[in-house]
Amino acid sequence: MSLLIIGTVAFDAIETPFGKTDKIIGGAATFIGLSASYSTKPVKLVAVVGDDFPQADILTLEEHGIDTEGLQIKQGEKSFFWSGKYSQDLNSRDTLITELNVLADFDPIIPDAYQDCKYLMLGNLTPAIQRLVIQRLVNRPKLIVMDTMNFWMDIALEELKETIEMVDVLTINDEEARQLSGEYSLVKAARKIQEMGPKFLIIKKGEHGALLFHKNKIFFAPALPLEEVFDPTGAGDTFAGGFIGHLAATDDISFENMKRAVIHGSAMASFCVEKFGTERLLNLTQEEIEAREAQFGELVKVLPVTAVLPA
C-alpha cells in the first residue's frame, strides 16, 4: 500500500565515544525511508535539500525504492545541517550546531502522484508543517503516524497539540510522554495522550525497548542487547520507518499487527546503531532482518512449568 513520508533530509556530523564523522547523510526522512524500503516500495518522499546535497546520495535513496519526485532541491541554498556529540553512556547528547538553511521556509509540496497514499509518516518537523501535509492530501490516509520531540513541546505546545489531534499513532520517548501529559506513570500518561487524539501511542525507550498503548492494552518489545553499539543517531526514525513500513506492506492496522510492526521496527533500529549514520541500513538482507526479529521472541520466551519439570 502506498506510503508517503515527510521529514528532513540533511547532513549530520556526529561524535560518539567510539568515533566521529565529517558531514554524512542523515535526517529523519532518510532513516525512515531507508528503513521502510525493506518492507514496501516505493516510499514516496516529501522533503527539501539545498544544491549542496550530493546527487549520488539522491541516487542511493532511489536505488532503495524511494521516490524522490517530492524532494525539492533549492538552488543557491544549503541543506539542513546538524552536529551533535553523545555522552559517554550514549544516553544524552549535546547539539553543537543547528543550521536550518532550506528548512527555514520549507513549503511541503505534495506531487499529484502522491495523492493516493494510504499510509502517512510525519517525521519530526515543525508541527505546523506536519499539519499542512495532512491538509494538502485530498483524502485522509488510512493511517497517520507522527513523530515529534520535546523541543516542540517547549516552544510550540499549542500548535503541536493541534497536529497531534489529527493523527492515529504518536511516537515519542518516555520523558516526552511525561512532559506532554504531566503524568509520571506511563499508564496514566498514555491514557491522557490518547485523549488528545491519537488512538495509539508508542513510547520509544531506546536501549530499553518500546511500549505500544491502545485503549487498555499494552504491548512491550525489548531492545535487543547488542554486541556493538556505535551511534544512536537515527535509531528512533529507523524504528518508525520499520513500523509504518510493516503496516503499509501488510495493510493491517489491528493492534495485533501493530505489535509485529513494533518488533520489526525494533529489529531495524538494532541494525541502525551498529554503525555511523545510515551505513548499516544500506545493505541489509531479508534473512538478517528475520533472524533478528526471531531473537525478540527468544529473549522473552518462558516455557510453561509443566514442560520443564523433571518427570
User: Shortest gap between Cβ of 267 and a second copy (angstroms)?
Assistant: 13
197 binds a second copy (CB under 8 A): no
- Report yes or no: 10 and 81 within 8 Å, Cβ to Cβ: yes
Rounded Cα distance, 99 and 113, in Å: 31
208 binds a second copy (CB under 8 A): yes
Q: Fill in the per-residue mask, 45 to 84: x = in contact with a second copy (CB under 8 A), - = not in contact.
A: ----------------------------------------
Which strands, in side-by-side order, build the sheet including 217-221? Answer: 66-74, 43-50, 3-6, 119-122, 143-147, 169-173, 200-204, 210-214, 217-221
Binder of a second copy out of 19, 54, 111, 225 (CB under 8 A): 225
Rounded Cα distance, 57 and 258, in Å: 31
Binder of a second copy out of 184, 195, 286, 287 (CB under 8 A): 184
* Residues of span 78-97 touching a second copy by CB under 8 A: 89-90
The kind and range of the H/E element at 65 are: none
Closer by beta carbon to a second copy, 32 or else 221: 221
- Report yes or no: 148 and 177 within 8 Å, Cβ to Cβ: no
Closer by beta carbon to a second copy, 23 or else 205: 205
User: Shortest gap between Cβ of 209 and a second copy (angstroms)?
Assistant: 7
Q: Give the three-class secondary structure for 70.
A: strand
Binder of a second copy out of 140, 157, 254, 282 (CB under 8 A): 254
- Quickly list DSSP for 179-243: HHH--SSHHHHHHHHHHTS-SEEEEE-GGG-EEEEETTEEEEEPPPP-S-----TTHHHHHHHHH
Rounded Cα distance, 46 and 86, in Å: 29
What are the φ/ψ torsions at residue 81 (nearest 5 degrees)? -135, 130
Rounded Cα distance, 197 and 135, in Å: 16
182 binds a second copy (CB under 8 A): no
Binder of a second copy out of 65, 84, 197, 209 (CB under 8 A): 209
311 binds a second copy (CB under 8 A): no
Residue type, 96: L
The site that binds a second copy (CB under 8 A) totals a number of residues, namely: 41
Closer by beta carbon to a second copy, 106 or else 243: 243
- Report yes or no: 245 and 38 within 8 Å, Cβ to Cβ: yes
Binder of a second copy out of 22, 107, 228, 287 (CB under 8 A): 228
Binding piece for a second copy, criterion CB under 8 A, among 26-34, 59-67, 98-106, 218-226: 218-226
Binder of a second copy out of 44, 64, 131, 178 (CB under 8 A): 178
Closer by beta carbon to a second copy, 165 or else 251: 251
Interface positions with a second copy (CB under 8 A): 17, 89-90, 175, 178, 184-188, 190, 205, 208-209, 211, 218-222, 225-229, 252, 254, 256-257, 259-260, 263, 297, 299-303, 305, 308-309
